[in-house]
Structure 1
Amino acid sequence: MTPLVILVFAIVLTFGVLVAGAWAGRTKNQNLEGWLVHHRGMGSVLLWFLLGSEIYTAFTFQGLAGYSYSKGAAGFYNVAQNDVAYAIAFLVLPCIWMLGKRFGYVTQADFVAHRYGSKALGVFVALSTALIMIAYIDLNIEGLSAIFRILGGGAISPVLGNVIAFVVLACAVFIGGIRGNAIQSVIKDLLMFAAVGALFIAVPMTFFDGFGDMYSSFVEKIPGYFQLPSAKAPELGPVWLISTVLVTGVGQWMWPQWFGTAFTASSPTALKRQAVLMPFYQIVKVAVLTVGFAAIIALGTGLVGNDVVMRMMRDIFPGWALVLMAIAAMLSAIVPAGPIVMTSASLLSRNVVHALKPELSDRRIFWLTRMLVFPLVGAALVLTLVAPALIVSVLLVAYAFITQLFPGIVVGGIFWKRATKEGMLSGLLVGWAVTAVLLLSGHDPLFGVNAGLIALVANLIVFVVVSLCTTPSPAGQSVGTTLREIAAESGPGERETRAVTPVPAVED
């Protein structure tokens, strides 16, 4: 088959998978809670795939191999990051679920506005995080661009490929909601496991004389790539690795879509179970990193990092297998963007528009949320076309900003009742300002330390000092009391069955 035929087949079949999953998940989408959090009834199996699909994206399938190809051993930060994040998830996500169940939260901004008794703070967090999340959507479109560019052999331009991705992604999210995305995630993850496994086995058999020869070649030909700092990235040493793991590990659950994903669970026990089982996905990351290192020897240096995986696939597999590989790659870019887009849309409609115009009916807000899918994906498309970049670089910059929510949401939001809205806002602004200055001035890392961690320390200091100097909201006391009450009412492993209480109105 010619490259164009392979690409067309892959696009058509990918579109079919997305529409089928979205159509199967269209039930219970008559209101915002059903569309966003499936009425908090997601079972363990679908939840496991939904969480995995959100973490293991085009970044894992393409970006991580490209990062090890371009930067060397620095790419291993991402394996350690998730292990740190899962430990945090075991403690934090069940608390978020219990509060969401009790107070009817649907978004992260709902939690912030209620916890700190400030509608204005909720609006600010919703608007700013929705903008940051456009970079995360951009990451997945970057992955699609690499697929179309390499697999199509130039038959489809990156611009046209990105436009096609925009249409497919926006339509799939609009139709299916979160349950449809979970069904799509099952198909995507199974195909991704098969594709990565096949590639991991085929690479040493095709370009080397087996696994032993491949690993021996690593030691003999590119030993500098396995050092910190590596030959390709002398600025990324052990201190950078440790600081980046801390920033991304604590920041992973600060992405607003994770609040929505946590709210979909049927019980806090289901979330704990996912935190224990999710590390099995790490096997995929190690395999992808290995493929990136093998590409240095097999393909030589000088390629665009995002293109490495697709180049290897094109060189190894016959046409029919390449179609299946391409479907897995496309789904890894499109499916994970679903909850991100839905969350961004809900933040803008529910926590910005509805907060400013409370007279709007719930039905209007629901449909506004769905319609916002198209301009949000369009904004990410524009960003992709205007400022294409290495996938991992986009993600690391976005993490540096989103991690600044950690003091206000986890430290003060759950564990420290003395925290105030003034403290959270001041710390957040300082953290973002320090991050922006360091990144724009080219000082990331600074003295080997990830700029995001430096900003987080400044953020935390300001957060604590300002909170101690201002008056806490009574809502802060109620959140801690509520968690203790729920824990006392619900035995270990039991589902919290109390009816949802709507989020109380908050005033500044």
Structure 2
Amino acid sequence: MGTVIVVAAIAVVGLTILGMISGAKESQSSLSGWLVNRRNMGAWLVWFLLGTEIYTAFTFQGLAGYAYAKGGPVFYNVALNDVAYSLGFMILPLIWILGKKFRYVTQADFVAGRYQSRALGMFVALTTAIIMIAYIDLNITGLGAIFHVISKSRLSVMWSDIIGFVVLATAVYVGGIRGNAWQSVIKDVFMIAALGALFIVFPYREFHGFGPMFLAFGHDLGPIMTLPGKTAHSGLLWLVTTVLMTGMGQWMWPQWFGVAYTARNPRSLKIQAVFMPLYQLVKVAVIIVGFGALLVLGTHQNGNDVVVILARRLFATPFFAFFVIAAIFAALVPAGPIIMTSASLIAKNVWAEYRPQSDERIYRVTKLLVFPLTFLALFLALATPSLLVAILLVAYDFIAQLFPAVVIGGLFWRGATKYGAFWGMMTGWVLDAFLLLSGHGTLWGINAGFIALVLNTLVFAIISAATQASIKPGEANHFSTLYEMHEDPVHSV
């Protein structure tokens, strides 16, 4: 295993240097260059950038672990992305238009500009940055699981997570969004090759082919592979409401919302939305491996570990080293935009609103925040260890509460107000927190986050209707821009 660790370390250093070199092609002394590459990415790079942010350690390890631990409910995750890509095809070009016109670089910029409220922008920036710590936690947990397995459990989970924190924070500190996009290309090639090899080798080595493997699934795992699987409450209603809630929530993650600003034009965003579902094949393969692990490994393993355990069992050391590198890249590369976005939200939309600063100063503070934010995620990983998918589901419950204010009010309803947006979000977050903390993640068979989102939307609509007299003249410019661009044949999306 020493050889594997050394080779993996060299690969991480090489990937970091690649990010620095490719990122240096754009100015890295400004927040605009660091975060959105001066809005100059084509469809190909945007596709890889979004692919690497969406298909992370969660996809590489978490999905197999969830299939292994929970069974049938894992299929929600394939459906959610298909809902999200349909929405992305429609809304991401509109976000690009407004970002280009008003020079937005963060989601909080968008909210503050739409509702003409710096206070609401600060509120959204701070709350979403806190929620995103859970996503950073997911990547630290994924890295920790890799180090725990390749050390053959000689490294404790705690020390594995600490090493994951050091590797992650150090790698993210350098480079920018363009550097991360080129790192994404390498990461996705490695991830697809590694998981593709596992998906092909696993059935033949353990079951003598795909046919015998699927027959074994039908004979031994039938009830587990259907709803509610190994759970008590994840039935059909849970599946539908979870898919709707997470599908609407996907573009509410600030790092994915912000990718819309990096594109060269709206068409680039539409092209990537059309081809992004190709990544779904990776998810299906990982889920099948997770079910197979139940028959091969029994039920006593940690779900987060099963993919790497199977790879160690099936592959010779050279290819296992390649597999480990791919798994590390899957946790490492996607964390870059997440941490950068969290740090920029706090530096630009919270700190700089209290004390106006130059762009250069904001940029420096953003980079300095990388380590403390990642450390908070490490604390969360150590304090509340959990399955990667469980971490993600809770985070989605909260981030989805932005949908009414950002999408409905931000793109389609001129009558939405800052008061409706604020009280809608607060209602959703308070209700969701109450249900989760009281042990009601599912209520009447419905995902708690979806219940909170429905009430959030009602409050948002009612209070907005009651406070429309507070709408400022500047808010009309937001929608006028969309109408003008739609009518312009040169710039039409």
Choose from 289, 292, 302 the match for 2:290: 292
- 1:163-242 alignment runs, 5 A limit: 163-230=162-229, 232-242=230-240
The corresponding residue for 1:143 is 142
Distance 2:171 2:394 in 1: 28
Shift of 1:492: 6.3
Distance 1:293 1:250 in 2: 28
Choose from 272, 275, 287 the match for 2:273: 275
The corresponding residue for 2:56 is 57
The corresponding residue for 2:481 is 482
CA deviations over 1:78-110 (Å, ceiling 9, x no partner): 000000000000010000000000000000000
Distance 2:217 2:491 in 1: 49
CA deviations over 1:313-361 (Å, ceiling 9, x no partner): 0100011101000000000001101101010011000000111112x21
CA deviations over 1:243-268 (Å, ceiling 9, x no partner): 00000000000001112211000000
Moved more, 15-24 or 276-285: 15-24
Tell me which stretches of 4 or more aligned residues in structure 1 moved more than 6 Å. none
- SS of 2:176's equivalent? helix
Distance 1:492 1:475, change over 3 A: closer
Distance 1:159 1:234 in 2: 31
The amino acid that maps onto 2:255 is: Q
1:372 partnered with 2:369: yes
- Whether the 8 Å CA contact 1:22–1:173 is kept in 2: the answer is no
- SS of 1:491's equivalent? coil
Distance 1:53 1:425 in 2: 32
The amino acid that maps onto 2:433 is: A
The corresponding residue for 2:394 is 397
Distance 1:418 1:475 in 2: 13
- Whether the 8 Å CA contact 2:143–2:331 is kept in 1: the answer is yes
The corresponding residue for 1:74 is 73
Distance 2:161 2:464 in 1: 45
Moved more, 314-323 or 8-17: 8-17
- Whether the 8 Å CA contact 2:4–2:317 is kept in 1: the answer is yes
- Whether the 8 Å CA contact 2:58–2:142 is kept in 1: the answer is yes
Distance 1:438 1:292 in 2: 30
- SS of 1:229's equivalent? coil
Distance 1:9 1:383 in 2: 29
The corresponding residue for 1:106 is 105
Shift of 1:30: 1.8
- SS of 2:446's equivalent? coil
The amino acid that maps onto 1:417 is: R
- Whether the 8 Å CA contact 1:19–1:172 is kept in 2: the answer is no
CA deviations over 1:220-240 (Å, ceiling 9, x no partner): 11111121122x113110100
Distance 1:272 1:126, change over 3 A: same
Distance 2:180 2:334 in 1: 8
The amino acid that maps onto 1:88 is: L
Shift of 1:472: 2.2
Shift of 1:167: 2.8
Distance 1:370 1:490 in 2: 40
Distance 1:473 1:81 in 2: 36
Distance 2:145 2:64 in 1: 13
- SS of 2:41's equivalent? coil
Report the TM-score, using the length of structure 2 for normalisation: 0.97
The corresponding residue for 2:306 is 308
The amino acid that maps onto 2:471 is: P
- SS of 2:300's equivalent? coil
Shift of 1:490: 4.5
- SS of 1:335's equivalent? helix
Question: May I ask how many residue pairs the two structures share in their alignment?
Answer: 490
Shift of 1:493: 6.7
Report the TM-score, using the length of structure 1 for normalisation: 0.94
1:93 partnered with 2:120: no
Choose from 421, 426, 433 the match for 2:423: 426
- Whether the 8 Å CA contact 1:94–1:271 is kept in 2: the answer is yes
Shift of 1:491: 2.7
The amino acid that maps onto 2:113 is: H
Mind listing any 5+ residue stretches in structure 2 that lack a counterpart?
none
Distance 1:411 1:491 in 2: 26
- Whether the 8 Å CA contact 1:109–1:126 is kept in 2: the answer is yes
- 1:381-460 alignment runs, 5 A limit: 381-460=378-457
Mind listing any 5+ residue stretches in structure 1 that lack a counterpart?
495-508
Distance 1:164 1:23, change over 3 A: farther
Distance 2:103 2:151 in 1: 47
Distance 1:421 1:410 in 2: 13
Distance 1:43 1:179, change over 3 A: same
Shift of 1:413: 0.8
The corresponding residue for 2:260 is 262
Shift of 1:383: 1.2
Moved more, 166-175 or 293-302: 166-175
The corresponding residue for 1:498 is none
Distance 2:21 2:169 in 1: 14
Distance 2:272 2:443 in 1: 35
- Alignment RMSD (CA, Å): 1.2
Distance 2:60 2:109 in 1: 33
- Whether the 8 Å CA contact 2:74–2:287 is kept in 1: the answer is yes
Distance 2:162 2:219 in 1: 44
The corresponding residue for 1:463 is 460
Shift of 1:161: 3.1
